């Protein structure tokens, strides 16, 4: 679609509404790309869903390696969690959990919700408020002493049951 050429078309920031000249491409305050002013008789350009989602992301929460913050039972639940995180500006992506990465499980099977390292604390806070995560820290190691004692007790009970049955 070609735009009618004019001596100086007005560009507008979609975030703050400030007007800029034709030589500017980005708003110096909001850092958003400038768009043509729809008041000149042109209908405003529709914003795609992808562009709308990208504008919600806070840049300071999108740095670092991807880290798993939550698990979802299926694709739909994972997308729900992604929506919750996006409302707080945290970008995220879904990854099929290990063992379920075969084509037969397209939308079924568990998903890992991954966020950049800078957004992990915010994501955990959002998911705790939504009661999707427990207060317990995931992957906390078990002390070897109580684990060994529990296994020895289970073995002794198993042997006792075998002796009584025999």
Q: Provide the strand spans (E) within the chain.
A: 11-12, 19-20, 35-36, 66-72, 93-96, 111-116
Q: Is the pLDDT of residue 132 over 50?
A: yes
Per the structure, the count of domains in the chain is 2
CATH label of the domain that carries residue 106: 3.30.70
pLDDT attached to residue 122: 93
pLDDT attached to residue 38: 62
Cβ 58 vs Cβ 99: under 8 Å: no
Do 72 and 27 reside in the same domain of the chain?
no
Of 51-55, 87-91, 130-134, minimum mean pLDDT range: 51-55
> What is the arithmetic mean of pLDDT over 57-65?
87
Cβ 60 vs Cβ 118: under 8 Å: yes
Is residue 79, in this structure, part of any structural domain at all? yes
Q: Please indicate whether residue 88 or residue 56 has the higher confidence score (pLDDT).
A: 88
Q: Which residues of 15-53 are buried (b: 16+ CB within 10 A; e: fewer)?
A: eeeeebeeeeeebeeeeeebeeeeeeeeeeeeeeeeeee
pLDDT attached to residue 25: 77
> What is the arithmetic mean of pLDDT over 50-59?
76
CATH label of the domain that carries residue 33: 2.20.28
Partners of 35 in the β-ladder: 12
Is residue 95, in this structure, part of any structural domain at all? yes
| Structural domain that includes position 67 | 56-129
What whole-number distance in Å separates Cα of residue 124 and Cα of residue 84? Answer: 11
Q: Is 113 helix (H, G, I), strand (E, B) or coil?
A: strand
What whole-number distance in Å separates Cα of residue 84 and Cα of residue 69? Answer: 13
How many Cβ atoms sit within 10 Å of the Cβ of residue 119? 26
pLDDT attached to residue 124: 93
pTM of the model: 0.54
At residue 1 the predicted structure's pLDDT band, cuts being 50, 70 and 90, is very low
At residue 139 the predicted structure's pLDDT band, cuts being 50, 70 and 90, is low
What whole-number distance in Å separates Cα of residue 141 and Cα of residue 81? Answer: 26
Q: Is the pLDDT of residue 106 over 60?
A: yes
Do 35 and 65 reside in the same domain of the chain?
no
pLDDT attached to residue 24: 77
- Cα Rg of the chain (Å, integer): 26
């Amino acid at each position: 679609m070609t735009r009618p050429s004019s001596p100086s078309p007005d560009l507008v920031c979609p975030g703050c509404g400030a007007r800029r000249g034709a030589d500017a491409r980005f708003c110096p305050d909001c850092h958003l790309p400038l768009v043509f002013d729809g008041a000149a008789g042109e209908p405003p350009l529709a914003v795609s869903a992808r562009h709308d989602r990208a504008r919600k992301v806070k840049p300071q929460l999108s740095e670092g390696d991807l880290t798993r913050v939550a698990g979802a039972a299926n694709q739909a639940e994972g997308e729900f969690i992604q929506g919750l995180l996006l409302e707080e500006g945290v970008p995220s992506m879904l990854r099929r959990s290990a063992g379920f990465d075969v084509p037969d499980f397209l939308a079924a099977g568990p998903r890992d919700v991954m966020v950049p390292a800078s957004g992990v604390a915010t994501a955990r806070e959002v998911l705790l408020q939504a009661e999707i995560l427990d207060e317990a820290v995931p992957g906390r190691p078990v002390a070897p002493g109580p684990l060994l004692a529990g296994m020895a007790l289970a073995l002794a009970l198993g042997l006792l049951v075998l002796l009584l049955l025999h």
